[in-house]
Every structure is written in structure tokens, then in C-alpha cells.
Amino acid sequence: MEIEEACGLGLCFGVRRATEILKREAITYGEIETLGPLAHNQQLMQGLVEIGVTPVDCLEQIRGNIVAIPTHGASPEILSQLRARHIHIIDTTCPIVQQAQNAAEELAIAGFEVIVFGDAGHSEVKGLLGCTRGSGMVISGIEQVAACLKLSAKDRGFRRLGVISQTTQTWPVFCNFIKQLMGKLTTWDLENRENVLKELRVINTLCTATQERQRAAKELAQRSQLMIVVGGYDSANTIRLTEICFSIVETHQVEIADEVDSCWITGKQHIGITAGASTPDEIIRDVVKKLKSFVG
């Protein structure tokens, strides 16, 4: 049985960078609170808790005066509330997320109504929305477009539309959304002659590290009989890897090695492994070890 790892898996540079910053700062400050988890992986978070870095869910739960912003970033509103409380901020926002935030803000300043394509409940999306200076809306599916555009046209009379995406969306999904959006806009223009769209600007805010992992996972899935995806169940990029692989071949997502079931590998000669961008290296190694233990 061959076990092959995707060429590009596990910790992305953004999470690796954030972890290193926090390990360094924890030596200086002892106790640090993070506003939400650094990344969506329980094992990674547990490792940080052991060195004094603990997540809190919201501003009200902050007890100390050293707070880290996780890789997903935070809205300007949250940052100003922290500053108003004289809290020292350690910013570990991923540079890719920072670029997406800058794009959102620049569009808003230039007078665009900003569509943030992504999951409304995700902390990164909340941060992106917070950068649109009140002129943004989150859309997670094309079925929401008509209602959002009508509402915006009526309430704000916008005629210039900017689109950005949650960084961990897939390229095909984002492209398909833009294509469908164009279709809706044509209808919308015809129905609302007084609100004809003057300009549509699409900015690619997708993360290249995520795209590379997705491409590598897809390639590997195409020549494997089974894919194991290692990563947190609440990690958006891990879930997308699972969806991509699942559409091609039998796929199982696990958070830790103990979840790997020996019956999955029966009759399989080629097993592929990939992992989400917040999965620690040692967890991936444990999963590979577990798989190897089944074949003796």
C-alpha cells in the first residue's frame, strides 16, 4: 500500500507566522488572550494554551491587557474598541487577509457598494465587512443577490459594485459566483432602469496557499483510491479540501490519528493525504503512522 502526501499540505505561512509571533510574545508577556481562536484547529490551540495563550469569544470576555488578533483579522471597529480600553494589541492578521481588508476599504472609499462573497458567520468575513465603512453586504450564494441588490438600490441608490471574496473560497466557486452575478445584474438593470449599474469591479482576494493546497489535493485525489483530509471540523479551508476530494474519490476527514478507521483501507493500494492550513505537522505525521500501522 502506498501512502502519498499532497505536494502542499498542512500549516500555511500565515498560521505558521502567527504561531511563531505568539510563541515569542508569550515569553515576553506570559499571558495573552486571542480574540477568537488563532486558527480553527483544536490541537494547535491546545499547544498555545499550554504556553499561556488563551482564546476568548468576544471583547466582554477579555480579562487582561494583552490581546492578539488572530490570522482571520478583525474589523476596524473592534481594533478601536481595544485601543479605547488601552489594551496592547499583538496583530497576527495574515498578510493575505490584510490585503483583502485593504481591498474592501479601498472599494468603499472609492464609492463602491461592496459584496463580500463568503460565510456570514466566519470571523474573517465579519472583519472584511467591517472594513467596508457601512457600504458592504455578505453574500454566500447567488440566490441572495437579488434581494441584496434591490435593498441596496432602494436604500442607497448605489450604481457601482465591487466584489471581493473570503480568502479561502475556491477559484472555481468564486468564478462561478461572478458569472451568475453578471447574469443577475443584466436582469436587474432591465428591471430597474433608474438604477443602471455603472461599474463592476472584481478583486481576486483568494489566498494562493489555499489554492495550491486545493490544486494539489485534487491532483492526488484523481490518482488515489482513498483520500484522508486532516484538519479541524470548523476549519473552512479543511472543509473545502474535503469537498474537493469527496467529489472525486472516497474521502474521510479526521482531526486526529485516533479517528482513522482500519476498514477504510481495505482493498486500497494508493492512499492520498492532505491537510488544512491550520493542521500542525505532528498531527499529519501521526495520521500517516496510524495508516502504516494497519498494514504492519
> Interface with ligand F3S by CB under 6 A: which residues?
12-15, 71, 94, 96-97, 167-168, 207, 209-210, 237, 277
147 vs 173, which CB is nearer to ligand F3S? 173
Residue 87: burial class (beta carbons within 10 Å; 0-12, 13-18, 19+): middle
Whether 124 is catalytic is: yes
Integer Rg of the chain from CA: 21
Nearest residue to ligand F3S on Cβ basis: 14
Q: For residues 179 and 91, what is the distance between their CA atoms, to the nearest angstrom? A: 36
Shortest CB 194 distance to ligand F3S, Å: 40
| CA–CA gap between residue 33 and residue 37 (Å, rounded) | 9
Residue (15 or 74) nearer to ligand F3S, CB: 15
Q: What share of the chain is helix, strand, coil (3-state, %, to 5)?
A: 50, 20, 30
Angstrom distance (rounded) from CA 184 to CA 193 = 14
Shortest Cβ 210–ligand F3S spacing (Å)? 5
Our CB check for ligand F3S shows the closer of 14 and 36 to be 14
Min CB(122)–ligand F3S separation in Å: 12
Nearer to ligand F3S, 145 or 231 (CB): 231
Q: How far is CA 253 from CA 13, 115, 116, 194, 211, in A?
A: 22, 31, 28, 50, 19
Active-site annotation holder among 25, 105, 113, 124: 124
Tell the smallest beta-carbon distance from residue 208 to ligand F3S (Å).
Answer: 8
Residues belonging to the active site: 124
